[in-house]
Structure 1
Amino acid sequence: MSYFNVTRFNVTRRRMIAIVATAAGSAFLTGSRIARAGDAVRWRGSALGAQVSIEIYHPDRAEAERLVARCVQDVRRLERQFSLYLADSAICRLNRTGILVSPDADMVALLKASLFFGDLTDGAFDPTVQPLWQLYADHFSSERPDPDGPSAQKVAETLAKVGRRGLLVSADRVALVKHGAAITLNGIAQGYATDRAVDRLRLAGLSTTLVDMGEIRAIGSRPEGTPWRIGLADPDRLGALTETIDLVDRAVATSAGAGFRFDSKGRFTHLFDPATGCSPSLYSTVSVIAPTATEADALSTAFSLMPLSRIRNVVSVRSNVQARMTDSGGTLTVCDA
């Protein structure tokens, strides 16, 4: 998941997943250029607040480069829909005016997916928590902020603006019915963009691809037939991994409160419980492996706020989903369907 934009904070993202091993001889190019090395065509850039990359294998290098370029164009188009960093994006217009008329089909699809996962998790996933972010951002960027956070009254006033039932979505209109309401798609947009890139590459017939937009999704296995090896980061030790997992034809996403903290003690993070307005510290990290990056992204966000019993209930009704929760003591709990 990615993080929100606020002008008075130096917002950076600590990556929670990484590609551990890549094909020998392949290399990245930064910006909008594409690398030629070995059998791989790889691209690296930034989008939706994170460093992203695409790696594909194709017998026709010119066609491979065209496919990567189209994927990058798709990501840029989605960024203009979902990004809170771009003042003229569709989501920023919605938050300013409370309405989008004739919304883009991808905006409608992602908002409907957000509401679906909100229902699936009994409200733990909620795209309308943006007012909570703004509350805490304003509080901790003020002069001499109270280290205990905003007052209970301010939290209660802000919670009155939150609630997915106040987000109405149809093919011809998106509306926020509560005064002062605003949304963020930062807990799901990177996963959705990853899936859209994968859809394009699958339609082109590719069977060996890795797309990394903060959430990682693999098409097939590596060229030599081995799984893609993905590392899950230790949020307390920069550059260290808690474990590695194998990925074939699935996606993985990780959420952790340490990804962004408002205060030095980490009591207040980007992960907001929409029921309380607080940032629970149930787990050090939560990783979800799922068929799509959209689902992995949304569920890793929601599960960070949910007790194990509720996580198990959700996993039990989802096909091919696995959740991996690590607590502050380093104990790993795995929930499988």
Structure 2
Amino acid sequence: MTLRNLKRPARRRVVLGVAGLAAAAGLGGIAAFRAAAASRGLAIRTRAGVAFGTTVALTAAGRDPATIEAALTDGFAAMHAVEAAASLFRTDSALAQLNREGSLAAPDPHLVALLRFALTLAAETDGAFDPTVQPLWPVWSSAAARSARPAADALRAAIDRVGWRRVRLEPDRILLVPGTALTLNALIQGYAADRVMAALRGRGIADAFVDTGEFGAVGAHPDGAPWRLGLADPRDPGRLADVIAPFTGFAATSGDYNMSFSDDRVDHHIFDPSTGHSPGGLSAVTVTAPTGLLADGLSTACMVLGRDRGAQLVAAHAGCAVRFTDKV
């Protein structure tokens, strides 16, 4: 096994949304796609940006371009509000403040919603999903920077600071046992997809495709075809391993290839809270669900639980489905 510095690929999935579906439909690219939409009396707008440490893009269609533009503005505002509450990529987020100080009064409602869901899922999975694994991150990233694995004592010290029961969520404040630190990275992009979709609906948008790092779709593609979502091969991200078609609702993928500490992806950013190491059975899990928050949380939990227990977990949630890719 070769250790290496942490590296993030540009994207971890392939999306067949706007240009991708146009090409697949033989429409000759985005210009022809827009012409097809216009022939149905529809305008389409796509806006891209950066959030949660990755590229994001929102696509919406409708009959009034000004309304679409306003909806996209609202969508990005919703993403930035979620970032301000719970992103570890921002040192000024409410979550970053909580981790520094160990308590937070009058917490941001987005942070409360995310943490409440995280603690509920932790209880449901007997801690396989745990938002307090953050102390493991600097131990692994520091070791990887030295082309090594963490020393046993350093790893044990970090594990001793992990445990979802070390968090108290009260009506007007959040308290952490000293030494505890939270990460909601396994939920935040799915939750953001929910908030963006709500913002678009607020402007009356009925046809949209949302990419916040996780995905959501509503209505239909403006050329009249259903939305489709392409899933990248975990070992060859430039190749499609599967296509979800039609795609509506929300989807999230967790995999060993998004952020890894070793070239063979034995060590990666998803941790088993009980061992401090990465689970070894799966390369990727994709969950489709009625909400992005649920899809995101279940996909991470399934990586830790493995195929059999993960399938049982997903089956317990109405409207959800799961696709597993075994470790190779």
Q: For residues 267 and 248 of structure 1, what CA distance do their matches in structure 2 show?
A: 31
Tell me if 1:22 matches 2:18. Answer: yes
Aligned ranges for residues 213-224 of structure 1 at < 5 Å?
Answer: 213-224=212-223
Matched letter for residue 119 of structure 2: L
Q: Which runs of 5+ in 1 are unaligned?
A: 1-8, 28-36, 330-337
Instruction: Note the C-alpha offset of 1:315.
Output: 2.0
Match of 1:56 among 55, 60, 77: 60
2:324 matched residue in structure 1: 325
Identity between Structure 1 and Structure 2 (%): 37
Residues 18-73 of structure 1, C-alpha deviation per residue, up to 9 Å, x if partnerless? Answer: 3224265648xxxxxxxxx9521110111011111111112111111011111111
Q: Secondary structure at the match of 2:263?
A: coil
Residues 164-204 of structure 1, C-alpha deviation per residue, up to 9 Å, x if partnerless? Answer: 11111133111111x22111111010000110010111233
Matched letter for residue 242 of structure 2: E
Q: Secondary structure at the match of 1:183?
A: coil
Q: TM-score, normalised by structure 1?
A: 0.86
Matched letter for residue 97 of structure 1: E
1:165 matched residue in structure 2: 165
Aligned ranges for residues 30-49 of structure 1 at < 5 Å?
Answer: 39-49=43-53
Residues 272-303 of structure 1, C-alpha deviation per residue, up to 9 Å, x if partnerless? Answer: 00111110221111111111111111111110
1:125 matched residue in structure 2: 129
| Alpha carbons 1:216, 1:252 under 8 Å: kept | yes
State the structure with bigger RCO (CA 8 A, min sep 6), 1 or 2. Answer: 2
Q: For residues 212 and 227 of structure 1, what CA distance do their matches in structure 2 show?
A: 16
Q: For residues 110 and 13 of structure 1, what CA distance do their matches in structure 2 show?
A: 26
2:144 matched residue in structure 1: 140
1:34 matched residue in structure 2: none
Matched letter for residue 236 of structure 1: R
Instruction: Note the C-alpha offset of 1:14.
Output: 4.8
Matched letter for residue 323 of structure 1: V
Residues 111-155 of structure 1, C-alpha deviation per residue, up to 9 Å, x if partnerless? Answer: 11111222222212111100011111122224xx43xx2122222
Q: For residues 118 and 92 of structure 1, what CA distance do their matches in structure 2 show?
A: 21
Residues 232-283 of structure 1, C-alpha deviation per residue, up to 9 Å, x if partnerless? Answer: 1112113111111114431111111111111233221001001111102211
Q: Whose helix proportion is higher, 1 or 2?
A: 2
| Alpha carbons 1:14, 1:260 under 8 Å: kept | no
Q: Secondary structure at the match of 1:233?
A: strand
Q: For residues 258 and 151 of structure 2, what CA distance do their matches in structure 1 show?
A: 24
Q: Secondary structure at the match of 2:168?
A: strand
1:306 matched residue in structure 2: 305
Q: For residues 255 and 204 of structure 2, what CA distance do their matches in structure 1 show?
A: 35
Aligned ranges for residues 69-80 of structure 1 at < 5 Å?
Answer: 69-80=73-84
Residues 204-229 of structure 1, C-alpha deviation per residue, up to 9 Å, x if partnerless? Answer: 32221111111111112223443211
Q: For residues 238 and 286 of structure 1, what CA distance do their matches in structure 2 show?
A: 14
Q: For residues 97 and 210 of structure 1, what CA distance do their matches in structure 2 show?
A: 38
Q: For residues 225 and 121 of structure 2, what CA distance do their matches in structure 1 show?
A: 32
Q: TM-score, normalised by structure 2?
A: 0.88
Instruction: Note the C-alpha offset of 1:156.
Output: 1.6
Q: Secondary structure at the match of 2:244?
A: strand
Instruction: Note the C-alpha offset of 1:163.
Output: 0.8
1:106 matched residue in structure 2: 110
Q: Which runs of 5+ in 2 are unaligned?
A: 23-28, 32-36
Aligned ranges for residues 254-333 of structure 1 at < 5 Å?
Answer: 254-329=253-328
Residues 77-120 of structure 1, C-alpha deviation per residue, up to 9 Å, x if partnerless? Answer: 22122221221111111111111111111110111111122222
Q: Secondary structure at the match of 2:56?
A: strand
| Alpha carbons 1:108, 1:170 under 8 Å: kept | no
| Alpha carbons 2:287, 2:321 under 8 Å: kept | yes
1:242 matched residue in structure 2: 241
Q: For residues 298 and 287 of structure 1, what CA distance do their matches in structure 2 show?
A: 11
Q: CA RMSD in A?
A: 2.0
| Alpha carbons 1:17, 1:215 under 8 Å: kept | no
| Alpha carbons 1:13, 1:50 under 8 Å: kept | no
| Alpha carbons 2:189, 2:212 under 8 Å: kept | yes
| Alpha carbons 2:6, 2:145 under 8 Å: kept | no
Residues 302-333 of structure 1, C-alpha deviation per residue, up to 9 Å, x if partnerless? Answer: 1011132212321221101111001135xxxx
